[in-house]
Structure 1
């Protein structure tokens, strides 16, 4: 146990709809050689997409990983989908890192959030 408090974790804020989400759910293979570096590069790269709003990640103890990307409009999501480096990472993921995955894309029509006041 560390003497330092953990950095607070919070989900991406609620945005004014409509906007889009891409929900990427994965189970990875045992060999993750190169995954961490590629994942970090993708997280850097997507931030440069105009209309990218943020990203949430979760991992279950059983190995299910979920990443949710938030995009202002369909054009921003398409720009990310069509990015050449992202496409190369997708190919590598299918060849090496993912046992299986699903991708769900949806238009958000309602969004709200809650934050407990300190104290």
Structure 2
């Protein structure tokens, strides 16, 4: 949700199975309209949800953005959906921030990853 240009660029690890993902794909409208501030606040709030595991976001030039949020179970997703500030942000998103969006919720039944040791990187 927020841009951390000084953070290391690494994907989140695969979590213990099963877990759930919420994939939010969107195209933003022009201008900020308070989006950045709200995104920062929501980033803090979601971390307080029991069962929240993390999220990753990317935005392509031209506007398509994708955020994948990871949750331990459906109950954690429902807890996040019910947070008042999140509900308010959803309404504001439809009114001001998004041209279009799609939400997909899925159970992850397989996951694995790879990370090169930092000392192995060539410069």
Normalised by the shorter chain, which TM-score bucket? over 0.9
| TM-score, reference length from structure 2 | 0.89
Is the alpha carbon distance of 1:73 and 1:99 closer, same or farther for their aligned partners in structure 2, counting shifts above 3 Å? same
1:23 is aligned to 23
Matches within 5 A, 1:2-41: 7-41=7-41
Question: Do 1:32 and 1:96's aligned partners in 2 also have CA atoms closer than 8 Å?
Answer: no
| TM-score, reference length from structure 1 | 0.92
- Paired residues in the alignment total 114
2:3 is aligned to none
Matches within 5 A, 1:38-53: 38-53=38-53
Secondary structure class of the residue paired with 2:111: coil
CA deviation map 1:67-102 (0-9, x unaligned) = 010000010011001111100000000000000000
Deviation, 1:8, is 2.0
Secondary structure class of the residue paired with 2:55: strand
List structure 1 runs of 4+ shifted beyond 3 angstroms: none
**Cα RMSD, aligned residues only:** 0.9
Deviation, 1:36, is 0.2
Gaps of 5+ in 1: 1-5
Gaps of 5+ in 2: 1-5
